[in-house]
Amino acid sequence: MIPIGPFTENVNREAAFITTRPRLFAIAYRYLGDAGEAEDVVQETWLRWERADRSAIVNAPAFLAKTTVRLSLNVVQSARMRRETFLGPRLTERNDGSAGPDSAAEQHEAVDLAVRVLLEKLSPAERAAYLLRKAFDYPYRRISEVLHLDAAYARQLVRRARERIETGRRRPVDITEYQRLVQVFLDATRTGDLAELEGFLAADITMRRSA
């Protein structure tokens, strides 16, 4: 009789996850449409699986699938919340021309404050990746295409930017760059055409590299 101890239990736990992993990735990808985000969800599922009370789980594949679905839905539901937290709910919606002067002034002020923080605390690459991700929900693959960066690096930039916004030191802001970014961002949110914003952000990164 083979003794069942911590080592055997860990092996069985890992084997159950590895066997189910392709299905879990497919589930996450179906909800998210982004391979990087799907992989993140699968990794979080593994962490939940490691911490789970095995005695309370009757069907391991069902538990893993249910956890993956729940985590994927959390990501989908938080995407819009991330945009609204970043700049406010109206800033990334196309302007229909019906907003009054008070509303327009509030919008402009919110953008002013957000852009100033980005310029004070982030590098051009961090700023560009974070803005495209948080304000417009760009997939990491699209961010990498726009900014000519590796997709994994784009994900790292967004993570680093979030940390620096919370704890990073402030730096002096170039007033011309500040005004230009505010205007380009507002134009993008009002028209829905992001080409100019994409070009501005990518050019800023290229210019800093060559400086």
Per residue in 155-183, pLDDT (tens digit) is: 999 989 888 887 778 888 888 888 899 88
Task: Report pLDDT for 209.
Answer: 61
Convert 35-51 to b/e letters by CB count within 10 Å (16 or more is b).
ebbbebbbebbbeebee
61: pLDDT strictly greater than 70: yes
1-53 residue pLDDT tens: 334 444 345 557 788 899 999 999 999 988 877 788 889 899 999 999 988 88
CB atoms under 10 Å from CB of 206, counted, come to: 13
83: pLDDT strictly greater than 70: no
CB atoms under 10 Å from CB of 127, counted, come to: 23
64: pLDDT strictly greater than 90: yes
What's the residue count for the chain?
A: 211
Task: Report pLDDT for 188.
Answer: 86
107-150 residue pLDDT tens: 666 777 788 888 888 999 999 999 998 888 888 889 999 999 99
Rounded to an integer, the average pLDDT of 64-86 is 74
Cβ distance 123 to 162 under 8 Å? no
Cβ distance 154 to 143 under 8 Å? yes
